[in-house]
Structure 1
Amino acid sequence: MSAAGIGALGLLTMLCTAAHQLIVRRDPRRMRSGTLLLLAALLLLALVLALLGRPAPTALLLALWGLSMTGALVLGATVVIGSLVISPRDARPRGRVLSGLGGLALLASPVLVPALAGVGGPVGLVLAGIVGVLAMHLGIAFLIFLGAALPYLRHRPRLGGGGIIVLGSTLHAGRIPPLLRGRLERAAAERERLLALGVDPLLVPSGGKGDEDTPHEAEAMAAHLIDVLGVPADRVRTEIAARTTEENLVLSHRLLDEAGQAGTYLVVTSGYHAFRAALIARELGFGDEVVGGPTGLRHLPTAMLREFVLLLGRRLPWVLAALPVTVAAAVLLVRML
């Protein structure tokens, strides 16, 4: 490859990296941060291949294939592990088997696509193209998701607002499960941080879904904050109507605003859910920052998959709009093979 082409790849890599850093510093609550990180990685890998003597188009296609298959393998492994460790009460056997088979198909895709293309003939090429497109598209989407969500876990809140919103989750027989306990402990720790800064925030545990035999999530959370974690009762306000993350944020904001607080607030949830909650807060027009409590390793694969699927749904028009690009890349790769 010519020196000019190598220089262009290097410049584009630096530009994507700089744009990624700029977006993360200004507002990390964006999916485009993951897109730019993936583009930077793609261009960097293509640059390495170009330095090894590959022509620019071939280097870009091979880099795209390598990254997308990496994403497909990681997604496939996550699906398989999740289907094995998920509790039987959370998923039916048929669903576990089907998801496990889907994960195995993704794990086999890097070998399956070249094998189908090698069969020859229109049928082999068409099957290779279909499998390749699905694996590539899902793999790229999963890498974008990870590239946006995982760095957000390292984000440290810069806010010192007068309110902390704690998002609820399902109670177990009316009791606080470990996942929700982690959120409450993180909220209490953030309260101590703000107290050290001279701010005494109101804590708003948010969550409904109660019935005659089970308390509202927020009521159980408030009792834990007061009785176990030592938060003064007059600094806790319960929000018992919310049933979704959007309602958690909107109704808790309303409650805090009515209590005389103002500005942006801190939102506490589980680590796996932090990025999507931050994305939703941004879409609602709130300047909130979100921090996450710990998630048990057993629950992490299925939790991350759930977040990935829900975010795909929120970005479905973009996912579909990018599909022709993946199709074109897959066709070129099949021809190259």
Structure 2
Amino acid sequence: MTVEYCVELFDGAGSGRGPGSKIAEVWDARNVGWSRYDRLPGKGFFTLYQTSPALSLLVPLVTHVRITRVGASAVEVYNGQFVDYNSTGDDVVCDFYDYLALLGISRAGFRTMYPTKALGTEIVLPEIDLALAATGSPLGFVTRGTIEDPLGLDGVTVIKTNDQFGTLDQMRLQLFYDISEMGRANTDNHVTFRISRTSPFVFQFLKNAGASVGLGLVLNGNVNDYAYAPNWLRYRNDLASVGMNAAGGAAEITKTDATAITAKGLRQDVAVLQTLLGITGAATEADQQQAALERLLHKAVTRRAALWLALVPGTLEPFTGWDIADKAKVEISNGIDSLTGERRIVGVRGVFSDAGENLSLLVEPVA
């Protein structure tokens, strides 16, 4: 199957500084690349000759870029803004970031307090509204969509902050990331946030994104190579933290996995209980802390192993029947690696050059 990439440029005169009129199709772009990730900005890039007429149309922090992949069907794989370039005597490498990156230049308030608030509707919602409505906001063209409240381990109780929670001049990309981590803590929920890949561009904060989509990723099938980082350096089987005893005083909490110690030896660490939010139904805060540390120990023993899968050209259409946060079945059996079972897609990247297209997926264990 023949694959082509179409690169289009738009001025920044649209509503809210968004993409306005189409000003060019860039057919002399070389080494076109794009990526999209779960909760993190995706990068795009391409190379132009110094003589390319498109260079005069690329205005940093103003021009918008759309990349459409034309394969079995036409799919917009990337929308973002031109941010910078690197030039040499012959070439100019142009860099772009998708619209989620704009939250990284949007600042939350100084000592804005959110005591005992639901994470989504009572914190993320007012913060994204402020980001979108700020005078001169580069996010003025983005609209607010679904905002959900993450639930605790019981699947019913809405997670809330403690009575002292607030922001202190934090960038909103990091704030929303931290809030999503709080929503994930001590649960199996995949709390995430995103700005939609295609127009209309909508911000969402979801309490448990992703579905099992029946996609198989098999080495020597639709996967021709992989890169695996098992993450054993972060393996721990004995954790300690400072918590609270029944009387309200400071106390050490320890949790140990005896079976893991027998297998790998004693590997200790100190954990900071940044949030107890996902633990619901505990009688006291001390009970919550015990349960939270137990959960952290489980994660420390199981690890978060990153796996990049290089796809056989033509075997998978981007964002067709699947999306970021969905779950696929992985089968890798090769030498010392035996990686089977369901994993979550948390990243995708593509590069198109004279040699053709290379697509790869980043997957991680399901929580």
TM-score grouping bracket, smaller chain normalisation: under 0.3
* Higher relative helix content: 1
Specify which structure has the bigger relative contact order, considering alpha-carbon pairs within 8 angstroms and separated by 6 or more residues: 1
* Structure-2-length-normalised TM-score: 0.24
TM-score under structure 1 length normalisation: 0.25
Greater strand content = 2
